[in-house]
Chain A
């Protein structure tokens, strides 16, 4: 039994391919990857913002380092990850709580998978996240303070 369970465990490779994936499976992969990226940033952010208690010089010194263009681009990439992770996370919470799920229907051929019947909600949330990414892009790259 143990051996079978281990044999079915694809580990980290299972994130990327384990058969015919639907779009929600790719959302699952990006949810994990974006979550890991945000977690890494969180610890850096806690460390960097802690410099404010060491006085003006320490704060301005660290801000001049993280103010470089490469960090600015990284910050926008992080914003994309946050927008996706938050909106997809809301979808997962709704599904976990049974909200916005369609009513049970008779299994009439050709069968429509339950996921396909709630896919519109997924598309709606992804559209909102794309709008947020676009607005964020404007803020990060267009309306930058002189």
Chain B
């Protein structure tokens, strides 16, 4: 069983990670004209970005951090509503399972796009 303080510290760390990575993501997607990127949403652009090692790392880190930060935050919100211990345990298991499934799906898409 991981201590709650460690999970909380990881939540903060993931939050900081997201601020940095989402800055990169927004910069590429929305400041495309300033940086001179081609149509960022075209299939060709999406494909060529996904094939670089840089985006493989950025997308994977962003995916993991965002899922963890979001679901741990949701867990805290649900716990604040004051349910019993057994229900809290069930919520933790459901969120953990949902997080793992979402991460596997997202990571699968990232890896397949990298190898296309």
A68 within 8 A of B: no
Complex interface: chain B residues within 8 A of A143 (CB): 33
- Report whether A139 and B31 are in contact in the complex, using a CB–CB cutoff of 8 Å: yes
Binding site secondary structure of chain B: helix
From A6, A52, A96, A139, give the contact of B30 (CB < 8 A). A139
- Minimum Cβ distance to chain B for residue A54 (Å): 10
A53 and B74 in contact, given A42-B66, A59-B46 (Cβ under 8 angstroms): no
- Cα separation A12 to B82 with both chains bound (whole Å): 10
Per-residue contact bits, chain B 83-116, to A (CB 8 Å; 1 contact, 0 not): 0000000000000000000100110110011001
The chain A residues found within 8 Å of chain B, CB to CB, are 5-6, 9, 11-12, 32, 35-36, 38-39, 42-43, 46-47, 49-50, 52-53, 56, 59-60, 63, 79, 82, 86, 89-90, 93, 96, 136, 139-140, 143, 145
- Minimum Cβ distance to chain A for residue B20 (Å): 10
Chain B interface, number of residues (Cβ within 8 angstroms): 34
The chain B residues found within 8 Å of chain A, CB to CB, are 12, 15-16, 18-19, 22, 26, 30-31, 33, 39, 41, 43, 46-47, 50, 63, 66-67, 70-71, 73-74, 77, 81-82, 102, 105-106, 108-109, 112-113, 116
From B16, B26, B47, B74, give the contact of A93 (CB < 8 A). B16
Complex interface: chain B residues within 8 A of A43 (CB): 102
- Cα separation A42 to B105 with both chains bound (whole Å): 13
- Cα separation A43 to B99 with both chains bound (whole Å): 10
Complex interface: chain B residues within 8 A of A59 (CB): 43, 46
- Report whether B22 and A82 are in contact in the complex, using a CB–CB cutoff of 8 Å: yes
- Minimum Cβ distance to chain A for residue B62 (Å): 10
- Report whether B43 and A60 are in contact in the complex, using a CB–CB cutoff of 8 Å: yes
Complex interface: chain B residues within 8 A of A38 (CB): 70
A52 and B106 in contact, given A9-B82, A11-B81 (Cβ under 8 angstroms): no
Complex interface: chain A residues within 8 A of B105 (CB): 46-47, 50
From A11, A52, A96, give the contact of B82 (CB < 8 A). A11
- Cα separation A140 to B41 with both chains bound (whole Å): 14
Complex interface: chain A residues within 8 A of B43 (CB): 52, 56, 59-60
- Report whether B113 and A53 are in contact in the complex, using a CB–CB cutoff of 8 Å: yes
- Report whether B82 and A6 are in contact in the complex, using a CB–CB cutoff of 8 Å: yes
- Report whether B15 and A53 are in contact in the complex, using a CB–CB cutoff of 8 Å: no
- Cα separation A6 to B82 with both chains bound (whole Å): 7
- Report whether A36 and B19 are in contact in the complex, using a CB–CB cutoff of 8 Å: no
**8 residue pairs from A and B, CB less than 8 Å apart:** A9-B81, A35-B73, A42-B66, A42-B67, A46-B105, A60-B43, A86-B19, A143-B33
